[in-house]
Structure 1
Amino acid sequence: MTDIVRTASLGLVILAGGRSSRMGRDKAALPWRGATLLTDLLLRSQGVAFDEIVVSANRPPDLSSLPPDLAARIIVVADSFQGCGPLGGMEAAFRACTCSYCLVLSVDLPFYDFSPVKRLLPELSQTSLVDLFLPMSENRPQPLAAIYKQEAALEAVQAALAAGKRRVLSIADKLAVRILDDAGAPILYENVNTPSAYKDALAVDANRSRAVPIVSLSAARSGDGKTSLAVQVIAELTRRGYAVAYVKSTHHRRCREKRGSDTDRALQAGAVQALLCGPDDVAAGEGKEDALLRLTQQTAADIAIVESRSHGPFPVIYIDGPEPPSIRLDNITAVIGRGSNDFFRYIAPEQIDCLCGYILYLTTS
């Protein structure tokens, strides 16, 4: 008997047609790595030999920056079921795609690297029993970074929409599901739904390009608690096993180290290095922010904490107070205080564990 070799085709579906109501602007068009979230994701997708690429978008996306051969391959479809969330986009995309399987990705996954798909590719041609390969990350299912069998998924999505269902996972009961517990690092599935989440992603990406990742602490006035907070953070991160450096911005010239100074307090808290950055440390043609960043990169540390009232390099954690910040708002990713503005993440002053967890997310992800 001759063995029958079964082949399977794989399409890519990118859902880029959401309302982006929490973001306040089109997520697909957000700047990312010199491109946009959508175009960068499409460029990264070239690492996998997808047979078709379908973008679900309810307004024509700007694909002009893509290589012509890639742009020519992309099929753009609009929802037939308007206002139905991701299921509406999936329905339109599945109808347009002729592949056996489809990788469905939300457009707002800036760190997705396609490694889970590459591991699964050999299996797609060897099984017909699975309708949905569903990644689990930190015990959370990721249906918008999953592989669906096109025919079965289209039928399930259409049935769900006809029944008035809107949750993507509502179709799982109609499909043969294989859970992927080894789904890659959690950062792959981090999405950007709000301005603060977008700034977090920008911070993570910036720190990935630095030899020593950094976080700046800032406050509008001297005496608002920057150094005290830095000391607590240094002590806790040191306790967790990280080598932490401390760089403090100052306006004084010819600074000398002395007992009880801010740098001495940082060293006593466990900092592996504590440096001052005054006017004499700024090179000709260099800004203070650049000088602070340069000094952090010269430290022998896992993480550098910068203390500066108005020149802290991105990302900045700002200590809330009665006066407005003296640092650019776009540089602030989190506020030590209480609030509900989606533009910032808020961390209560007493939540040092939470603050340190956030710093580690920005610096080690």
Structure 2
Amino acid sequence: MIFEVCVILAGGKSSRMGRDKTLLPFGNFATLTHFQAHKLSKIFKNVYVSSKFDKFNPPLNLIKDENLDIFSPMLALSSILKNFNTSVFIIPADMPFVKLSTIEELGKYADTFDAVIPKDSRYRHSLCGFFSPKLALKADVLYKKDEHKIGLLLNDARVKELFFDDESEFFNINNPNDYEKALSENF
């Protein structure tokens, strides 16, 4: 199954990592973000990266945040969604093990709901899923109210949550130990 648009989130602070984790080498790729872009291009016609500035070599297709001084997932969603008129799959760069079959399952509901996100026995993964461009204005309003938690946006939307047994596919690389685990795929 081929979908239209995917955006990889790569504009965070990486404070727990101590350096920009989106630029860390991963597998045979220059960066974790390049790994994600390559993987996701197998099922998306267009793959973009949301970032504050152009930092990737080789270059990737960018969507820049509208405010370079504030690190906010709500700002990122607002900046991304206003560019499209179709559902957008959004995924953090630091979540490299999400299966393509999982994305395809989520995509089955993308045109029916405002957001379609995965959950497992421990977490709802609010920044991984399909988001309707209808949410752009709501995200912008919340951002301007200094509200940055995606859960607030989803509370006021038609959301489909799909349960997945394999928690490991939603593993986030947040710190140096996580990075080492991800490189060894031993988590």
- Aligned-pair identity in percent equals 21
Q: Check conservation: 1:56, 1:90, Cα contact below 8 A.
A: no
Residue 85 (str. 1) matches residue 72 (str. 2): yes
Q: CA separation in 2, counterparts of 1:153 and 1:12? A: 16
1:52 Cα deviation from its structure 2 partner? 2.9
1:174 Cα deviation from its structure 2 partner? 1.7
Give 1:153's match in structure 2, choosing from 116, 135, 139.
135
Q: Aligned residues, how many?
A: 183
Q: CA separation in 1, counterparts of 2:37 and 2:52? A: 18
CA 1:122–1:192 in 2, change beyond 3 Å: closer, same or farther?
closer
1:156 Cα deviation from its structure 2 partner? 1.8
Q: CA separation in 2, counterparts of 1:18 and 1:121? A: 25
Q: CA separation in 1, counterparts of 2:107 and 2:147? A: 31
Give 2:34's match in structure 1, choosing from 39, 45, 69.
39
Residue 178 (str. 1) matches residue 165 (str. 2): no
3-state secondary structure, aligned to 2:147:
coil
1:172 Cα deviation from its structure 2 partner? 0.8
Matched AA of 1:156: K
Residue 95 (str. 1) matches residue 82 (str. 2): yes
1:123 Cα deviation from its structure 2 partner? 4.1
1:112 aligns with 98
CA 1:99–1:117 in 2, change beyond 3 Å: closer, same or farther?
farther
**CA displacement 1:233-278 (0-9 Å, x = unmatched):** xxxxxxxxxxxxxxxxxxxxxxxxxxxxxxxxxxxxxxxxxxxxxx
**CA displacement 1:75-94 (0-9 Å, x = unmatched):** x1222233142222222111
2:174 aligns with 193
Residue 138 (str. 1) matches residue 124 (str. 2): no
CA 1:202–1:51 in 2, change beyond 3 Å: closer, same or farther?
closer
Q: Check conservation: 1:132, 1:175, Cα contact below 8 A.
A: yes
1:102 Cα deviation from its structure 2 partner? 0.8
2:12 aligns with 18
Q: Check conservation: 1:84, 1:166, Cα contact below 8 A.
A: no
Matched AA of 2:78: E
Q: CA separation in 1, counterparts of 2:106 and 2:165? A: 12
1:95 Cα deviation from its structure 2 partner? 2.2
Runs of 4+ deviating beyond 3 Å: 120-124
Q: Check conservation: 2:106, 2:117, Cα contact below 8 A.
A: no
CA 1:140–1:122 in 2, change beyond 3 Å: closer, same or farther?
closer
Q: Check conservation: 2:33, 2:93, Cα contact below 8 A.
A: yes
1:120 Cα deviation from its structure 2 partner? 3.7
Compare the two structures and name the one with the higher helix fraction: 1
1:256 aligns with none
Q: CA separation in 2, counterparts of 1:105 and 1:28? A: 12
What runs of 5+ residues in structure 2 fail to find an aligned partner? Answer: none
Q: Check conservation: 1:11, 1:99, Cα contact below 8 A.
A: no
1:118 Cα deviation from its structure 2 partner? 1.4
1:29 Cα deviation from its structure 2 partner? 0.7
What runs of 5+ residues in structure 1 fail to find an aligned partner? Answer: 1-8, 205-361
Matched AA of 2:54: P
RMSD (Å), alpha carbons: 1.9
3-state secondary structure, aligned to 1:140:
coil
Q: Which has the higher contact order (CA 8 A, sep 6+)?
A: 2
Q: CA separation in 2, counterparts of 1:34 and 1:104? A: 23
1:14 Cα deviation from its structure 2 partner? 0.9
2:146 aligns with 164
**CA displacement 1:92-121 (0-9 Å, x = unmatched):** 11123x241011101101212222121244
Q: CA separation in 1, counterparts of 2:24 and 2:17? A: 10
